[in-house]
Amino acid sequence: MLKIIRKLFIFSMVLWFISNQNVLASSSALSNFAYGNQIKNKKQQFTNFKKAKQKLKVLVVYSSTSYFLYRGKTMGFEYELLERLSDMLDMDLEVVVSENIDSLIPDLLSGKADLIAHGITITEELKKTVLFTDYIYSTHQVLIQKKPHNWRQIKASELEKDLIRELKDLNKDTVWVRELSSYKNQLNHLNNDLGYAINIQVLDGSYSTDEIIDMVNRDIIKYTVADDNLAKINTTNMPDLDVVTPISGEQQIAWVVRPDSKELLNRINEQLHNAKKNTDFYVIYNKYFKNKTYYKKRLKSPYYSLKHGKISPYDKIIKKEAARIGWDWRLLSSVIYQESRFNPNAKSWSGAVGLMQMMPETAKAHGLYDPTNPKENIKAGATYLQQIFNQFKEIENTEQRIKFTLASYNSGYGHVLDAQRLAESKGKDKYSWDNHVESMMLELSKPEIYRKAIIKHGYARGVETYNYIKDIFQRYDNYQNFIKS
């Protein structure tokens, strides 16, 4: 009897070893729940995954309120709304950054994207060309002007005399705005319909509104025009600028789709209608347009992409280790953000520690005895990824091979092998993660699947791994938009 028990014990240990061979990365899956994954609740839709989701391609503008990178996290008013919208529409978000605001509508109409997520003023003229969503918010246009150099020493009444408060005082003076902007349209309206004589000079569409405001602050131009909410938040650290004088009445701001996208428009409007019923929408708005303390904090950070072009305090280390294993450093950065939010002291309930959330046994196997040491942790984690990568030599496509590597890092090499076998049994390509093995990974949480004879390593929380890969590569896409290699 004892011999039988001993044999059973040895057999179970062999099975355990096989299921964890070369990887032992299931600890990463556990740690991601606490530190890196921010797994979105998809209820049961992922476990019933049958085909690739449609993409929602969106044109955005890189700016201080719309779309930017801060401490490794993609942020912005438009971006946060888009994340929620794509979830509600059950579509994969693909961000396309416009290098020129004046080209937004031509690019949309040419099919480069499905939607423009940028604050565009609803006008009758544009309605002839595009379809507007329901309005996102309303605002009015204001004049951006500089106060006299001694404004702190003079009385408020004297200061008012030095500033333009009546639009007629702008006559024969010059205001700089983008060519294809609602600001220029409003100035033309003042000149043509109301008899003013304002000299309008145009700027290239590559300048964002916050950059043009800064040009006034640095005395490069004298006046410009901006939406009130943009003007107020962007002049938080520019006390010498005045943004009080209105140029227009209240105007509605919306997003835009092509004229042939009425079905998409209706779906977006339905979600916008629902979003505005929740406080979350207004919290996001206030976060980017009214929270001046938060705005100042971003400006001072060395990891604010609009100012410094950095991702994290560990960029130098990450670049070195990524080069050693032949990966893009921005991709490795996305992995580290997913694991620990760049917190070197991060520790999960399962015991995984450090930037790359390595379990103590795995860390020791790679010569890592102080997992809170950023340099050593990243080095060990990168080596570990390289070892896994080498297990998938039969996969020719590098991006697909990296996805298999990361899936193994997250859930364990054995589970990924199971997903490959399952894919092959169903006529799918076992060497392609996208649309093939990823869907089989989701199946491994079903009893009727993981109890099959071809499944050697049992139950896997496939939705976590599915989201893990999606999140890392979506963030990597954003990092490529923000940071040049």
Residue pLDDT, tens place only, 301-345:
888 887 778 999 999 999 999 999 999 999 999 999 999 999 999
- Which range has the worst mean pLDDT, 269-273, 312-316, 334-338, 347-351? 347-351
Mean pLDDT, all residues of the chain: 89
Would you say residue 2 has pLDDT above 70? no
**Over 90: is that where the pLDDT of 484 sits?**
no
Cβ neighbours for 196, distance < 8 A, ≥ 6 positions apart = 167, 168, 170, 171, 190
The CA distance from 238 to 366, in Å, is 51
Among 345, 411, 348, smallest CA distance to 377 is for 345
How many Cβ atoms sit within 10 Å of the Cβ of residue 305?
A: 24
Active site positions, annotated: 339
Nearest to 27 by CA among 312, 342, 354, 344: 354
How confident is the model at residue 10, as a pLDDT? 41
CA distance 207 to 431: 44
User: Is residue 50's pLDDT more than 70?
Assistant: no
CB 435 within 8 A of CB 456: no
Q: E-strand spans in 341-479?
A: none
For residue range 72-128, list pLDDT tens digits in order: 999 999 999 999 999 999 999 999 999 899 999 999 999 999 999 999 999 999 999
Joined tokens for residue 112 = 């480069």
Other beta carbons less than 10 A from residue 303's beta carbon = 19
Alpha helices, DSSP H only, in 235-343?
262-275, 279-289, 292-300, 315-325, 329-340
Task: Grade residue 351 by pLDDT with cuts at 50, 70 and 90.
Answer: confident
For residue 65, the model assigns a pLDDT of 94
- Distance CA(377)–CA(358), nearest Å, equals 8
CA atoms of 163 and 146, how far apart (whole Å): 8
**Alpha helices, H only, 37-137:** 77-89, 104-109, 124-127
Which domains does the chain possess? 25-50+313-482 (1.10.530.10), 55-133+253-300 (3.40.190.10), 141-249 (3.40.190.10)
Q: What would the pLDDT profile of 435-447 be if each residue is shown by its tens digit?
A: 999 999 999 999 9
Residue 25 predicted with pLDDT over 50? no
- State mean pLDDT over 152-158: 93
User: Is the model's pLDDT at 22 over the cut of 50?
Assistant: no
| Average pLDDT value for residue range 448-476 | 95
